[in-house]
Amino acid sequence: RKEVEQDPGPFNVPEGATVAFNCTYSNSASQSFFWYRQDCRKEPKLLMSVYSSGNEDGRFTAQLNRASQYISLLIRDSKLSDSATYLCVVNSDDGQNFVFGPGTRLSVLP
Amino acid sequence: DTAVSQTPKYLVTQMGNDKSIKCEQNLGHDTMYWYKQDSKKFLKIMFSYNNKELIINETVPNRFSPKSPDKAHLNLHINSLELGDSAVYFCASSPPWANYGYTFGSGTRLTVV
| Nearby residues of A41 by Cβ (< 8 Å), 6 or more positions away | none
Residues of chain A with pLDDT under 70: 1, 95
What pLDDT is recorded for position B46? 92
What pLDDT is recorded for position B88? 97
Q: Chain B residues with CB inside 8 Å of A85's CB? A: 41
8 Å CB contact of A43 and B99: no
Residues of chain B with pLDDT under 50: none
Q: How many CA atoms lie within 13 A of A24 on its CB side?
A: 7
What pLDDT is recorded for position A97? 77
Q: Which long-range contacts (CB under 8 A, 24 or more apart) does A79-82 make?
A: A79/A15, A79/A108, A80/A15, A80/A108, A80/A110, A81/A108, A82/A106, A82/A108
Q: Chain A residues with CB inside 8 Å of B47's CB? A: none
| Rounded Cα gap, residues B46 and B34, in angstroms | 5
Torsion on CA atoms A85, B28, B22, B100, rounded to nearest 10: -20
What pLDDT is recorded for position B97? 67
For residues B67 and B75, is the Cβ–Cβ distance under 8 A? Answer: yes
What pLDDT is recorded for position A36? 96
What pLDDT is recorded for position B70? 87
What pLDDT is recorded for position A1? 66
